[in-house]
Structure formats: C-alpha cells, structure tokens
Structure 1
Amino acid sequence: MSDSARDRLLLLDSASLYFRAFYGVPPRAAVPSGLQTNAVAGFLDMIATLVGRYRPSHLVACWDDDWRPQWRVDAIPTYKAHRVSEDPGEGEEVPDELSPQVPVIAAALEAVGIARVGAAHYEADDVIGTYAMRYRGVMPVDVVTGDRDLFQLVDDASDTRVLYTARGGVRDPDVITQSFLEEKYGVSTGDAYVDMAALRGDTSDGLPGVKGIGEKTAATLIRDFGSLAGVREALAAGDPAIKGARRTRLEEASAYLDVAPLVVRVAHDVPVGDGDIRLPSDIADPAAMSRLAVEHGLTSPFDRIATALHSALP
C-alpha cells in the first residue's frame, strides 16, 4: 500500500491534452525562437491547474512513442488509417504549427522534472493502462484524457477514475466512475465498457464495429450475457435469445470480433521501467527552464507550474 493517505497518481494522455491546447489557446505573440507556442503554454497551464486542484504525489506525462502500432494495424488495417499523413514517412497528420511545439513540450517537462514515459510499439493509452494496473490498489489513480477509450480503466474499488476533458477541459472535467458508466452507457464496469466499445466500434479510430449494433444494443448484449466472450459463446451455442438480423450480423462480424478485443483493450504490461514518477517539489533544472522561458516566451506558464508544485507539498 502507499506510504501516505494523500498519495495519488495522475496519468496524463499527453497528446490528447496538447492537441486540445493547440486548438483551444489563441496564437501567442512572437517570441525569440520564432515558434508558435500556444500548445506548449496551454499544456503547461493544464498541468499547473491539475496539480493545484488534485495535488497528486505522483505524475506521469504518458507519451505516444508509436501512435499507430503495427500489431494493431495487422489486426484491423483500418485502425487510425484516416489520420495517416499524405506525406510518406510523416506518420500521423499533425498541424504544421503544432509539430515543432512537441519537442519543446518534452524539453519543458524534463526541465520541470515531470516524468515523461513512452514505449516503443505502444501508444500512450497502453502506457496509461500499464501504470493504472501497476498502482491499482496502491494509491488512487486519475487518468486525464479526452479519449473515451480509457473509460475501460475505471474501477471504483481501487479509486481509479477518468477525468474526461472533452467538454469542460481540465478546469471542469467529467469525472468518470462506474456510476457514470452505468447512467450514460448502461454498463457497470470498465471491463464491460471495453466489450461494449468493441461491439459498437469507433469511427474516430477506424474501428468498424458490428454492422447494425449501436451503443444501446451493444450495452444490452453485454449486460444480458456478461461479457463479449459470453455473447459469442451464446451465439455459438445457438441461444434463442440472439435471433434474426442481430444473430446474422454478429455471425458476419466473427472475424472482426476475433481481433477487436486485442485492438480496443489497452495493454497492461508495457515495459515502462521503474523510473521515479513522484511529483517534484521544485523545478528540477532551473537553468534549462530559464532558457526555454526566454526562447519561447514561457515565463508565465513556468511560474504557474512552480507555484502549483509548491502548493502540492504535504
């Protein structure tokens, strides 16, 4: 168990947050580096807000070392295919003014002393899933994201929540617990949510789902049969409760359902190492922070980070 009653782990879906900052923070005045830095400033401000409000003892900025892992594409070739840049070798399509800001975000995190963790062949979601499982039952875990996929990690028993930023941002996120899942989606656990999501599909990720099976029907099937595996077992056994067009559509989607759980469920065993993920009590490298602040006009965001770190001290 944790050493302190106030221990809390905050896991940031970094790309989700800096994309939101890029589109939500107005362009800033020219700075010596010549870069637009609205995403950097917005991202740092988000961290300051989160640290000040939730006062975590541990924090990880989880990183997409591979935003579209080949093992997921091999299973479902349409996975995120619509997001691939038209320029060969460019990977994910990212706005021209955002791309050069991402290394600055990484440098800013290093200067502050906040752990930034990614892993080859895995997405940030998988890093988040691994840390959430590693610390489940050790300390409360909050996942900060604008991605519904991570609702699968919600677990009231271990105080694992998602702070969902899609509507209210980090200042007023939806707090996703099992009661929220039940009320909004008709499923009672994170595991049930991921099974429902596999059936439903997700066009934003290029996941087709089962034709004709929407969210409500998917939730009903999971509720009636306990899990996606239970649905498929009932289907194979000829259970009369699954009949007509619904049976036909599920049978036609058999190949998809063979691989969908692998793609939709986040990994829990990513090699993230044993690095220090404690929230720093002060800026780790003031000189590096000062250089970044001058070059990119980030003095105010860094000041807010420093103030938040001090306020989070026990």
Structure 2
Amino acid sequence: MLVDGMALLFRAYYATATSGYIRRTKSGIPTNAIYGFIRYFWDAVQNFDPTHVICCWDLGGSTFRGQQFSAYKGNRPEAPDDLVPQFSIIRDVMDSMGVPNISAEGYEADDCIGTLATQFSKDMDVMILSGDHDLLQLVSDRTTVIIMKKGHGNYKAYTPESLYEEKQLHPRQIIDVKALMGDASDNYPGVRGIGEKTAHKLVQEFGSVDGILEHLDQVSKSVRVKIEADLDMLLLSRKLAEIHCCVPVACDLDICELSLDERNVVDKFEELEMKSLCHLLGVVV
C-alpha cells in the first residue's frame, strides 16, 4: 500500500479543526492531524490488509511543474499554523511504526507514488490510498486506487473495470480530461470555456487530446475555436496533469514490510500523549 501522506494529514487536520478544538500535548504541541492520520491510516490497513506499506510526501518548495507554469498551485493558502509543526512529527511517527517515508526534491508525492507503483506492480499487487482523484490515472490490472470518501472508513476502490463503469474513461484518459478542463485546485486553466462535461464527451469520442487535435474538423465550431485559441495551454495542462513515474526513488521490499515494533510505537505515542492509539493498533502498553 502506497499512502498519500499529505492527503491523509490535511483531511485529518480539517476533520477536527473545523470544530474549533485542536488536540495538543501539555507543552502545547498541536497533534490533532497526527491523531486523525493514524486513525485513518490504521482503518485502511485493517480494511485492505497490506503486507507492505510506504508513505509518500510532498517536500514543499519548487517542483518541475512550478517551473513549467509559474502559477501552478499559486492559489493555495498557506498551511494553518497549527498544522505546520505536524508535518515533521508525523514522519517521526511513521518511522516509529516502521513505515518508510519517501519523497523527492522537485517532485510531488503523486510522482513518487506513480514511480513506486510502476516498480512494485511488476511483481505484486499495489494499492494506493488517497483522497486525490488525480491518482486514478495510475489504475492498472495490478494497481488499485483507493479513494477515501466522506465519512470515516468509507472508501471507493478503483480498478480499470470500476473506473470505466463509473466514468466511462480508461486510466490514461484522466490526464486528457484534466488537460481540457483544467484543475482549479492546482490552478491551471486547461481550455477556457471547456468544462468537465464537454471534456469527458470529447475524450470519450476521440480517445485522447491527440485524437481530438487530429479530428478538429469533426468538432463543433464553438469548441474548435476554443481549442485553437488555447492550444498551447492545452498542451501545457496535459504535461501538468500527468504523473511522472520515473522519479529517482526506490524502496526495498524488506524495508517496507509492515511489522510493528511495539516498544517504538508505545514510546512515540506516549511522548505525544496519545496512548489510546496503542489500543487501536493492538499494541500492548
């Protein structure tokens, strides 16, 4: 199981912060996101029973996408002050559980996940845990993408069959749809005036962005004019939407086998004053 660390951490933070209560240690260190992260993470472990686990993270700072398009993710607010110190602490927590933390400078967690999924799926089945639908482009016969839905313990597992059943798209076509419609969350526009519905229809009819461009004469005039006016942005948006699967990261299987060292776990959870989580993990205190 490849875990999208930031997706879980942000979800866990906002699930509790909206109530106005932030869990803290006696010394004032915020731990609400860490506490929620472990609950989400362990619920997924119990539900899907992976033998090996890796957690992937964004490093912050510039990425190759930001170099290609300076406004990439430029609309995102700064992380809340109470969340910032938890970025490093959660990595220590995962270390205590024997789960490797993987990241790569200049790349996003998605790229690390894509690279590791490509490597491991040659020999074994891979699960990806996230709330980010961008990762659906990585679905394959050996890779299932598990999307966390609203509510604790609520998941949708996507295989090539279930993805097509729900969206009438093949995994790689997720990239083409995003290239056309853009992504407000990541702050790139795609083709102005083309929304999700039209993007889906075009990709379903012509197969891909390349297929659309090869048959522009068959596209309605209003859509054709929009594509021709924003052709450069369409091609750039496709680059931004595609997860890179050749990032310089690797992890040996024996390192990521899920096997808790109970003493390490107890020590770390006691340090963070969240001893009750030991019982959740079945660790004897």
How does 1:220-231 map onto structure 2 within 5 Å?
Answer: 220-231=201-212
Deviation of 1:68 (Å): 5.0
TM-score, scaled relative to structure 1: 0.82
Deviation of 1:293 (Å): 2.2
Deviation of 1:263 (Å): 0.9
- 2:162 is the alignment partner of 1:185: no
| Structure 2 SS opposite 1:221 | helix
Q: Residues 121, 226 of structure 1: CA spacing in aligned structure 2 closer, same or farther, 3 A cutoff?
A: same
Deviation of 1:279 (Å): 2.7
| Structure 1 SS opposite 2:261 | coil
**For residues 266 and 30 of structure 1, what CA distance do their matches in structure 2 show?**
36
- 2:235 is the alignment partner of 1:242: no
Whether the aligned pair in 1 keeps the contact of 2:178 and 2:238 (CA below 8 Å) is no
**For residues 267 and 110 of structure 1, what CA distance do their matches in structure 2 show?**
26
Residue-by-residue CA offset, 1:193-236 (whole Å, 9 max, x unaligned): 1111111111111020212222222122112222111112223x
Matching residue of 1:89: none
| Structure 1 SS opposite 2:101 | strand
**AA in 2 matched with 1:172:** N
Residue-by-residue CA offset, 1:47-83 (whole Å, 9 max, x unaligned): 21111121101111111124651x2123222210011
Whether the aligned pair in 1 keeps the contact of 2:191 and 2:231 (CA below 8 Å) is no
Whether the aligned pair in 2 keeps the contact of 1:164 and 1:175 (CA below 8 Å) is yes
Q: Residues 29, 11 of structure 1: CA spacing in aligned structure 2 closer, same or farther, 3 A cutoff?
A: closer
Residue-by-residue CA offset, 1:121-169 (whole Å, 9 max, x unaligned): 11101011111111224222211111111111112x22x2221114244
2:6 aligns with one of 2, 15, 24: 15
Matching residue of 1:127: 112
1:253 aligns with one of 224, 230, 243: 230
Deviation of 1:250 (Å): 0.6
Matching residue of 1:81: 74
Matching residue of 1:5: none
Whether the aligned pair in 2 keeps the contact of 1:168 and 1:174 (CA below 8 Å) is no
| Structure 2 SS opposite 1:220 | helix
**For residues 282 and 146 of structure 1, what CA distance do their matches in structure 2 show?**
25
**For residues 73 and 232 of structure 1, what CA distance do their matches in structure 2 show?**
26
TM-score, scaled relative to structure 2: 0.90
Matching residue of 2:187: 206
Whether the aligned pair in 1 keeps the contact of 2:120 and 2:126 (CA below 8 Å) is yes
Matching residue of 1:104: 89
Q: Residues 262, 302 of structure 1: CA spacing in aligned structure 2 closer, same or farther, 3 A cutoff?
A: farther
Of 136-145 and 109-118, deviating more is 136-145
Residue-by-residue CA offset, 1:55-114 (whole Å, 9 max, x unaligned): 101111111124651x21232222100115xxxxxxxx1111111112111111111110
Whether the aligned pair in 2 keeps the contact of 1:67 and 1:122 (CA below 8 Å) is no
**For residues 163 and 23 of structure 2, what CA distance do their matches in structure 1 show?**
42
Matching residue of 1:4: none
Whether the aligned pair in 2 keeps the contact of 1:11 and 1:62 (CA below 8 Å) is yes
**AA in 2 matched with 1:56:** P
Q: Residues 28, 283 of structure 1: CA spacing in aligned structure 2 closer, same or farther, 3 A cutoff?
A: farther
Matching residue of 2:43: 49
Whether the aligned pair in 1 keeps the contact of 2:54 and 2:102 (CA below 8 Å) is yes
Q: Residues 278, 120 of structure 1: CA spacing in aligned structure 2 closer, same or farther, 3 A cutoff?
A: same
Matching residue of 2:103: 118
1:265 aligns with one of 234, 238, 242: 242
Deviation of 1:30 (Å): 4.6
| Structure 1 SS opposite 2:84 | coil
**For residues 183 and 211 of structure 1, what CA distance do their matches in structure 2 show?**
28
2:65 aligns with one of 48, 63, 72: 72
| Structure 2 SS opposite 1:174 | strand
Whether the aligned pair in 1 keeps the contact of 2:4 and 2:129 (CA below 8 Å) is yes
Q: Residues 256, 29 of structure 1: CA spacing in aligned structure 2 closer, same or farther, 3 A cutoff?
A: closer
